[in-house]
Amino acid sequence: MDLKLEGRGVIVTGASRGLGWSAARALADEGANVLAVGRSEASLQVLARGSYAGSIHPQVCDMRDRAQVAALAEIAVERLGRLDVVINNAGIAPAANFLEMDMAVLDETMEVNVASIAVLSQAAGRTFIAQGEGGRIVNIVSTSGILGKATLAAYSASKGAAIQLTKALAAEWARHDIQVNAIAPGAFSTEAQAYVTGNADILAKRVRKIPARRMAEPDEIGPLVCYLSSPLAKFVTGAIYVIDGGETAKQ
């Protein structure tokens, strides 16, 4: 199936590793031009090597700096020629006992996981409307924003907020042909889960909670990211797609 992503301009944040890395490559494989945003210039340069040279364009950005985040839409237009899609993937997940947690942790988590989505989405929305061809925003949230997780209060709260922001923007921008959706991953085998995957006992305990009896590989997020980025998904908006091997379904 042709997803009609050839030549589309896409921003992917948090692209220097994990799900963002996989999403950037999946989109490039479909012919999109990707502005790959992250904190590690070295990792982004590795991402853009080989067959991805010329289709993936590295861009260093601190997602805590609102001015830098807001500038990404203009940078994308300058470097890619146009902006059609934003994948808001960047995020942090600090673990802490809430009774002992410094509220500065909550502030930073909300800044990166919610405010950066709002700032970039606003800048992108203005660009989409100015271009007159609509656009797509895909927010990578988490099943933690649906269920809540012990020791991840700040993260769970931020992802719940991102889910509601997704729905609100979808309702507000549908008339502009801007679709806003979210993907809520469950347990994916990424660098962020090294503590789990690197310990056989912990991994076995984690996998027992998943009906599919395994963790997902990062590349498994790519097909859905590409579909929601595609013109074929023009009537899909305000949806939250869970990819978790059935974990939330059994609750």
Is residue 165 assigned to a domain?
yes
Query: Torsion over CA of 233, 28, 165 and 234, rounded to 10 degrees?
Result: -10
Strands of 54-192 (E only): list them: 56-60, 85-88, 135-140, 178-185
Active-site hit among 52, 155, 195, 227: 155
User: By residue range, what is the domain housing residue 154?
Assistant: 9-237
Is residue 71 assigned to a domain?
yes
Q: What pLDDT, in 10s, does the model give residues 205-225?
A: 999 999 999 999 999 999 999
Residue type, 93: A
Is residue 212 assigned to a domain?
yes
Residue 172 makes CB contacts below 8 A (sequence gap 6+) with none
Q: By percentage, how much of the chain surpasses pLDDT 70?
A: 100
Is residue 28 assigned to a domain?
yes
Cut 0.85: pTM above it: yes
End-to-end distance of the chain based on CA atoms, in angstroms?
A: 34
CATH code for the domain of 58: 3.40.50.720
What distance lies between CA 39 and its chain's CA centroid?
15
Helix H or strand E encompassing 89: none
Q: How many domains does the chain have?
A: 1
Mean pLDDT across the chain: 96
- CA-CA distance, 134 to 153, in Å (whole number)? 35
Q: How many CA atoms lie within 13 A of 147 on its CB side?
A: 16
Is residue 246 assigned to a domain?
no
> Of the ranges 10-14, 101-105, 194-198, which one carries the lowest mean pLDDT score?
194-198
- CA-CA distance, 177 to 12, in Å (whole number)? 20
pLDDT band, very low/low/confident/very high, at 190 (cuts 50, 70, 90): confident
Is residue 250 assigned to a domain?
no
Is residue 4 assigned to a domain?
no
Residue with tokens 């210039």: 41
Residue 89 makes CB contacts below 8 A (sequence gap 6+) with 12, 13, 14, 15, 19, 20, 23, 140
pLDDT for position 56: 98
Q: What pLDDT, in 10s, does the model give residues 159-174?
A: 999 999 999 999 999 9
Is residue 145 assigned to a domain?
yes
Confirm whether 155 is a catalytic residue: yes
